[in-house]
């Protein structure tokens, strides 16, 4: 079995407050984009995991794919497998690649061994691995609330538009992002803003992490401004960074950036 875990962007991200449990209350819209890792899962006599592609600076045992397998095995006693992950989605980039990989392990094991795990149960398992993980079980547009694990369907269709993703080789850790976060003080909820025409999103949609992160990494603000200047109808930072994205009516061309940057021009 070969499956393709997809990346996501956040269209608006409101951090509302800090909860008594130490997590933050958020409100965000997550949308899948056609940038993929490649995940192979095969039945095997004993469990093994290998990873190729982009370098992952961690032990295999701490990889979310391995943790997802162990979680499903403990709960449903599924057989051992061989897993090979080819990493292509940049890490620490606000694109949810690791979360997507974990969710697709759960979906893949469910299909491969006919475990018949309902969607809600798969989302519950995924939530134990990370706040973004449940979104990728279905991968359809969602409003996420709570710490990001409570999902609500939303009708948003950007087919016919195009997107440019720019990862400027800056790793923004979760702790760094939340250390300077500015709580959302607006009165409009996200669903109401997203109901506006896309041409009205810029300035109305807020990512609560942008101001503090842009102060520390000024090049990220410059990239966002550049995306708008070259014709993006909406541009923002995804998640807690550091990927910047622009949404366009026509397919954009790559910008001349340093070789360390990763840049993707895709059709939605």
Helices vs. strands in the chain: H and E counts, helices first: 8, 12
Short-list 106, 116, 112, 164, CA closest to 139? 106
DSSP string, 166-181: EE-S----HHHHHHT-
Cα separation, 72 vs 130, in Å, equals 15
What percent helix, strand, coil does the chain show, rounded to 5? 30, 30, 40
Phi-psi region at 22: left, alpha or beta (left = phi > 0; alpha = psi -120 to 50):
left
- In the set 8, 142, 164, 224, the catalytic residue is 8
Pair 246, 252: CB distance under 8 Å:
yes
Let me know if 132 is a catalytic residue.
yes
- In the set 37, 87, 101, 132, the catalytic residue is 132
Largest CA distance in the chain: 56
Let me know if 73 is a catalytic residue.
no
Pair 149, 134: CB distance under 8 Å:
yes
SS3 87: strand
Count of alpha carbons within 13 angstroms of residue 254, beta-carbon side: 9
Cα separation, 244 vs 227, in Å, equals 9
Catalytic residues: 8, 132
């Amino acid at each position: 079995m070969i499956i393709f875990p997809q990346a996501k962007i956040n269209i608006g991200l409101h951090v509302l407050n800090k909860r008594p449990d130490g997590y933050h209350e958020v409100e965000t819209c997550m949308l899948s984009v056609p940038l993929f890792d490649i995940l192979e899962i095969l039945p095997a006599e004993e469990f093994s995991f290998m990873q190729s592609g982009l370098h992952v600076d961690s032990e295999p045992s701490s990889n979310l794919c391995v943790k997802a397998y162990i979680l499903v095995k403990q709960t449903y006693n599924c057989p051992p497998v061989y897993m090979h992950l080819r990493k292509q989605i940049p890490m620490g980039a606000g694109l949810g690649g690791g979360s997507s990989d974990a969710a697709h392990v759960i979906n893949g094991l469910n299909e491969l061994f006919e475990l018949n795990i309902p969607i809600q149960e798969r989302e519950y398992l995924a939530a134990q691995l990370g706040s973004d993980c449940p979104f990728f079980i279905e991968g359809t547009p969602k409003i996420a609330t709570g710490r990001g694990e409570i999902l609500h369907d939303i009708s948003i269709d950007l087919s016919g538009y195009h997107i440019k993703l720019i990862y400027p080789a800056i790793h923004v850790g979760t702790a760094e992002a939340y250390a300077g976060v500015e709580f959302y003080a607006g009165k409009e909820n996200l669903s109401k803003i997203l109901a506006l025409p896309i041409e009205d999103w810029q300035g109305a949609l807020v990512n609560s992490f942008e101001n503090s992160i842009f102060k520390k990494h000024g090049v990220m603000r410059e990239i966002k401004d550049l995306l708008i200047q070259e014709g993006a109808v909406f541009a923002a930072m995804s998640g807690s960074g550091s990927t910047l994205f622009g949404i366009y009516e026509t397919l954009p061309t790559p910008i001349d950036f340093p070789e360390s940057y990763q840049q993707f021009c895709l059709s939605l």
